[in-house]
Every structure is written in C-alpha cells, then in structure tokens.
Amino acid sequence: MKHEFAGIGMTSARTRGRMVDRLRQQGIRNEEVLAAMGSTPRHIFIDEALAHRAYDDVSLPIGLGQTISQPYIVAKMLELAVGAARRDKVLEIGTGCGYQAAVLAQLFKTVYTVERVAQLLDRARVKLRDMRVNNTRLRHGDGFLGIPDAAPFDAIVMAAAPPYVPEALMNQLAIGGKMVFPVGTVNQELRMIERSEEGFTESKLERVRFVPMLPGLA
C-alpha cells in the first residue's frame, strides 16, 4: 500500500514535515496516517496561485464550488477510518481534487472514490495517474448511492456534508466497518457509524464545516 512519490514536490518535504508536527500537536496519533500525510504532495492538487498555502491548516478552493479539506480534518477522519476491522476496501464520497484518495491509497488496499462533478473527476484521475497511484477506482456517480456493486466496504469516508445520514451508504458498510462523515446544513458535526453483528452504533465527534453534499450528477 505504500507509495513513494519520488521526485514530485520534494522541495516541500520540509514544509510537509512541519505540517505533520502540527498534526501531532493537534492530537493525531496514528503514525501510518501521519506518514501518509507527510509523503503526499498536497500542493500539486491545488491551483498554483494557492500552492504557497498548501500546508497551512486551512481548506482551500479547488474550483467548481468545491474545496480541499484542511489537513487536520483529513487526518482526523482517516485516523478514525483506519480503525476499521479490515483495510481491504475503502469508499470515498467526494473525490474532489484527488488528494484524500492519494492519502487513502497508502492506508487501504483498494480505494473506491465517487465524484458527481465530471470535470473534477477527470482532473483527479490525471493527478493520480501522474503520481502512479494505481490502487484507486474512480467513478462518476451520485455519492448518496455509493457503489453497491463493489460493497461491502471496510471504511467509508465522506468529504461533503449531507443533510441526513444516507441509508444506502450505511448498508454498504462491512461488519466491523466504520463510516466517518460530516452531517448537517447550517450546524454540521463530524460523526462515526460503526457496524457490528448487532447493528449500527453512532458517535458524535466535533463541529466541522464542509461543502454540502448534493445529489445527482454534474
């Protein structure tokens, strides 16, 4: 699962190191997640004009009304997701620029990722191909529906906030799996749903701010 992004953005290795140090100070403890974040060149996924802010702890616009989440939130969600019983398949809802998929690709055997905006998906596909990330499966689709034909997933991570918890996604979670997601409209919160033989358990974690999750294709 380990990818080496040799020769890509190595000038920012020190900057990425500072970002990882900050994530540790913010409470991220999983060393695999920290290593994956530290080795992924976030600046190549955003507009060149904003590249100097790539490793700041802020969300940044990536065009078409979408954003790349702040590093802390990405790390927090992935730290929760890697606690799943197995790490064979993960489903990402909202490919966006492809950054989170590149990090997930170092933590899970196969990454399935869905994006409703075709233009964003095409850009992400090129970035991931250029970086030789070969264990991602990109789909143009409605995130509310997930990818039933590839289910069940050991983890599901959502990069946009639905107004309610999509039942279709819960049903695509494997036994022992975890779904980490923001939910809400004006007041959003990060939640985690865990699936066991007995059913589903939901935890409320912290206040967050994500772009809204929209149905359909664009």
**What is the rounded distance in angstroms from the CA atom of residue 198 to the CA atom of residue 76?**
26
**Catalytic residue chosen out of the listed positions 12, 59, 69, 203:** 69
53 within domain boundaries = yes
Q: How many domains does the chain have?
A: 1
pLDDT tens figures, 118-177 = 999 999 999 999 999 999 999 999 999 999 999 999 999 999 999 999 999 999 999 999
2 within domain boundaries = no
214 within domain boundaries = no
**What is the rounded distance in angstroms from the CA atom of residue 199 to the CA atom of residue 168?**
15
193 within domain boundaries = yes
What residues have CB less than 8 Å from 206, skipping those under 6 apart?
189, 190
**Is 59 labeled as catalytic in the residue annotation?**
no
190 within domain boundaries = yes
- Residue 1 predicted with pLDDT over 60: no
CATH number, domain with residue 66 = 3.40.50.150
1 within domain boundaries = no
Between the CA of residue 206 and those of 40, 93, 169, 189, 190, what are the distances in Å? 26, 20, 21, 5, 5
H or E segment and range at residue 142: none
Would you give the DSSP letter of residue 212? B
pLDDT tens figures, 73-86 = 999 999 999 999 99
